[in-house]
Amino acid sequence: MASMHSKELISNLSDSVKREFKEQKYILSYDEFLEVFSKEPRKLIRNSAEYMLDMFKYFGVSEVKYAHNITKRHFKLFERVRGKNKPAIIGQEEAHENIYRVLEQFVRQGKVDKLVLLHGPNGSSKSSTAEALAHALEEYSKTEHGVVYKFNWIFPSDKIGYEGLGDNFSKHIGFGDESPTKNGNKSFAHLEDDEIMCKIVSEMKENPLFIMPKKERIELYKKFTENNLYAEDIPVYLEEGALGAKSKKIFDSLLVAYKGDLEKVLRHVQVERFFYSSRYRVGIASVEPQMAIDAQDRQVTMERNMQNIPPALQNIRIFEPQGELIDANRGFIEFADLLKRPLEAFKYLLTTIEKMNINLPSGIADLDMIMMASTNEKHLDAFKNSPDWPSFKGRFELVRVPYLLSAKLEQKIYEEDIKIIEKTKKIGPHSLILLAKWAVLTRLRQPDPDYYDPGLRNLIARLDPYDKQALYDGNEPSNTYTEIEKGLLKKNVEDILKESQSSVAYEGRFGASPREMKMLLYFAAQNERHDSLSAIALFDEIEKLTRDRTIYDYLQFEPRGGYHDYREFIKYIKTQYAIHFHKEFLSALNLYDELQYVKALQRYMRNVTAYIKKEKILNDITGRNEEPNENTMEEMETLMGATGNKREIRERLVAKIASWRVERPLDELNFAKVFEIELSTIAKRIYESKEEEIKKIKTAMMMHGSEDYNNMPKEIFQLCENTFDNLEKVFNYTRKNAWESLVFMNSSKK
């Protein structure tokens, strides 16, 4: 039974594969190919740039919101998971937009004539970007929209009606044979393997249209696009495309043998759909930084497996082109860390890029591919000082790939690693965002006030790294600024981001690498002193990382205006953690219900709005319109610690809501976020009134794990246990992490 079941399974699988093979048109005769071409001519004459540009469009776009009303186009192909430990690329929308624009430029001019050089600091996603493009090509080529064809030469055996491969040339597979045969003028494309004497593949993967003479293929295109918008221009690719040396020799020999009968020559053409593959180097190749030629060829005519070629071809030398450039033809090649190679090893690229061909012993091989390379900034700086740089810069399209300047985005980079880590260890609250904040802080540059309009210079001069980071994350600057000043800063975030981009030492070039931060995550997870990957465990690892300043450039910068001060940044994230935990600890004590005070604030703002507009307000209980309740307003203002002119206080709070609505017109009004500072003040005042009670519980909880903890009065013990439970269930701490955080918070106040 099991055996029958297996046979049935294999039979069904086989039928499915055969059906897909037929539906996908994997193998076509030349006639069948022209039939496909007639229906969608543009799709089948795309060069590599058009193909990749269509690929970008195929996977779609969305918008990503950055800081304060800055939105960027996001290409969805970069969010596609490329395999285990290769997550989506985060935050490089500008770099990807620049790649897209370069492709558009190639398409407009009808040819690819530059190498796209991705440059940036180590670990900034340069290689990941190239990998994502290669992966997208693989997926796109499997779709009907991304169909792409190459061709093979087929020579049949005498089983199909020919008289074999003897010495009499007129009898060789119909060459010059005008007599009718069993096969007639049918294509050999669909012959079975045992009916084929010899199959010669074209390593260049040329477009099958190039088999047709130039004049005829152009006329055919005009015919098929008579009512098509694309008919007004003949594509450069169609007009200038040519067969490789190997296929050209075979074509010419067959044409001579058949006395100019093109129809008979085309019988030998088997059109084959192919799929891009990085693994098998089909249309995609990657060149590592090593001294090696990227294309060569070898003679194959005399090889044993070529002995069955027809005599008409045995008197010509057939060469098989090889190498990464050949493998990548009609697709994409990446030169990883290009500038690590000796200059002599890639000088040939100058003429290769300019002419998009390469000289081989057998002739010139025309190339059609997107060339991309990566390099770090140090190697690029050195290369710019080379006497050869002027020759190369006209053939390079530079695309910068910097470190991220948003902690919120930086945190997302770690998410794939976190998925692995959390299988064996819990992730503590705030750990990832604080690590991301520290990393981003090391990357920020002190702004130059002279870059800005005179009215902004004093404001920019006061901008410290912490407020700058808040702006880049789309958050509010600190209360060292007035509401008007905050509005000005938020309005000018884009200019602040652009300030250093024309500088060699641009913002995002230096600082902690995401690779290093990921390494810290794994080290913290392996730390046996902690039962979770907690912020406290990460603080330990950051301090270890920074002990030897000679290892990383950014640790050697002299602090200036609060910037480049990695030690202060460590203190800052520790303080932030203590603040966060303190708030959560107090909440876990159930002494303060934020929701209750949010509702109170909403009532307060209803009264304030009516007060400002000099309107009456509906009393929910009496159902009457009444004057705004002064007692309600004053009580809340006392809790918020607001002093001064009442009208000014109230107008300032109304302006906060107006500002939120202007900046986030599509978002629902979030009272807790708008009045975060006011709510924090309210909570602080409430806790201050219960300071002694809180201190007693905190001291008791720090005794956890000792004999004294278990022997304390039942009422205190239960309150401690309830607080620990709330920290675990509501805020996701482990019991040990909660205890460590209490000790940490207590020591940080000393």
Same domain, 644 and 695: yes
Residue 691 pLDDT greater than 80, yes or no: yes
Q: Name the residue with higher pLDDT: 302 or 513.
A: 513
- Taking 80 as the threshold, does the pLDDT of residue 698 lie above it? yes
| Rounded-to-integer distance, Cα 120 and Cα 94, Å | 13
507 with 618, same domain? no
User: Domain boundary residue among 576, 603, 633?
Assistant: 576
Q: Which of 200, 211, 207 is nearest to 320 (CA)?
A: 200
Q: Quick check: 636 and 596 in contact, CB under 8 A?
A: no
Residues 555 and 626 occupy one common structural domain: no
For the ranges 58-62, 483-487, 600-604, the maximum mean pLDDT occurs at 58-62
Q: What Cα–Cα distance (Å) separates residue 300 from each residue in 257, 318, 324?
A: 21, 6, 19
Residue 41 lies in a domain: no
- pLDDT computed for residue 289 by the predictor: 83
Residue 71, domain member (yes or no): no
Whether residue 40 is predicted with pLDDT greater than 80 in this model: the reply is yes
Instruction: Give 364-391 pLDDT, tens digit per residue.
Output: 889 999 999 999 999 999 999 999 999 8
Instruction: Please check whether residues 468 and 600 belong to one and the same domain.
Output: no
What per-residue confidence (pLDDT) applies to 320?
85
pLDDT band at 163 (very low <50, low <70, confident <90, very high): very low
Question: What is the pLDDT averaged over residues 660-682?
Answer: 81
User: Six-digit token pair at 153?
Assistant: 């030469």
Which residue shows structure tokens 């641009």? Answer: 506
Picking from 160-169, 303-312, 416-425, which range would have the lowest pLDDT averaged per residue? Answer: 160-169
What does the pLDDT read at residue 292? 56
When mean pLDDT is compared across 186-200, 229-243, 599-613, 674-688, the lowest value belongs to: 229-243
Give the pLDDT of residue 160: 61
pLDDT digits (tens, 9 = 90+) for 555-584: 999 999 999 999 999 999 999 999 999 989
Q: What is the pLDDT of residues 402-455, one digit of tens each?
A: 999 999 999 999 988 999 999 999 999 999 999 999 999 999 999 999 999 999
- Residue 104 scores a pLDDT above 90: yes
Tens digit of each residue's pLDDT (9 = 90 or more) over 192-236: 888 888 889 999 999 999 999 999 998 888 888 865 544 457 888
**Domain C-terminal end among 545, 576, 607:** 576
pLDDT given at position 685: 81
Residues 6+ apart with CB under 8 A from 278: 131, 134, 135, 138, 284, 286
pLDDT at residue 169 in the model: 35
Higher pLDDT, 268 or 591: 268
Written as six digits, the tokens of 226 are 């008579």
Same domain, 519 and 449: yes
**Amino acid at site 406:** S
- Taking the C-alpha atoms of residue 710 and residue 696, their distance in angstroms, rounded to an integer, is 16
Q: Would you place residue 629 in the very low, low, confident or very high pLDDT band (cuts 50, 70, 90)? A: confident
550 domain residue, yes or no: yes
9: in domain: no
Residue 168 has a pLDDT of 37
Of the listed ranges 277-291, 576-590, 610-624, the one predicted with least confidence: 610-624
Spatial neighbors of 140 by CB under 8 A, at least 6 apart, are 55, 58, 59, 146, 276
What dihedral do alpha carbons 446, 452, 455, 457 form, nearest 10°?
20
Tens digits of residue pLDDT in 447-504: 999 999 999 999 999 999 999 999 999 998 998 998 889 989 999 999 999 999 999 9
pLDDT at 335: 94
**Residue 164 pLDDT exceeds 70:** no
Q: Both 546 and 652 in a single domain?
A: no
Radius of gyration of the chain (CA): 35
Domain residues for the domain of 512 are 414-576
632 and 687 fall within a common domain: yes
Number of domain units in the chain = 2
Confidence of residue 344 (pLDDT cuts 50, 70, 90): confident
- Is 673 a member of any domain? yes
Residue 170 has pLDDT above 60, yes or no: no
What is the pLDDT at residue 318? 80
Same domain, 534 and 657: no
User: What is the pLDDT at residue 142?
Assistant: 96
C-alpha distances in Å from residue 425, one per residue of 309, 508, 734? 64, 32, 11
Domain match, 640 and 571 both: no
Q: In terms of C-beta density within 10 A (0-12 exposed, 13-18 middle, 19 or more buried), how is residue 645 classed? A: exposed
Q: Which of 304-313, 509-518, 689-698 has the highest mean pLDDT?
A: 509-518
Taking Cα atoms as reference points, which of 575, 314, 552, 585 lies closest to residue 442? 552
Would you state the pLDDT for residue 622?
A: 74
Distance of CA 454 to the CA centre of its chain: 38
Residue 558 placed within a domain: yes
How much is the pLDDT for 13?
59
Percent of the chain with pLDDT over 90: 58
Confidence category of residue 616, pLDDT binned at 50, 70, 90: confident
Please report the DSSP string for 227-283 in residue order.
TSGGGGS--HHHHH----HHHHHHHHHHHHHTTT-HHHHHTTEEEEE---BTTTTBS
Please say if the pLDDT value at position 173 is more than 60. no
pLDDT at 505: 93
What is the dihedral angle through the alpha carbons of 680, 685, 691, 694, rounded to the nearest 10 degrees?
A: -40
Q: What is the mean pLDDT of residues 582-593?
A: 84
The pLDDT of residue 300:
59
Confidence of residue 153 (pLDDT cuts 50, 70, 90): very high
Q: What is the model's pLDDT at position 670?
A: 84
Distance CA 15, CA 200 (A): 28
Examine the fold and report which residue of 548, 576, 604 is the final residue of a domain before the chain moves on.
Answer: 576
Quick check: 358 and 348 in contact, CB under 8 A? yes
Q: Same domain for 702 and 562?
A: no
Whether 731 is in a domain gets the answer yes
Residue 555 shares a structural domain with residue 598 = no
**SS3 for 707?**
helix
Looking at residues 641-666, what average pLDDT do you find? 84
Q: What is the pLDDT of residue 176?
A: 39
Closest CA to 563 of 474, 463, 688: 463
6-22: average pLDDT: 58
Measured torsion, CA atoms of residues 29, 33, 35, 38, in degrees rounded to the nearest 10: -160
Q: Is residue 347, in this structure, part of any structural domain at all? A: no
Q: What percent of the chain has pLDDT over 70?
A: 88
Average pLDDT over the chain reads 87
Task: Indicate if the pLDDT at residue 185 is higher than 70.
Answer: no
- pLDDT, average across residues 540-564: 95
What is d(CA 390, CA 384) in angstroms, rounded to the nearest whole number? 8
In a shared domain, residues 744 and 608? yes
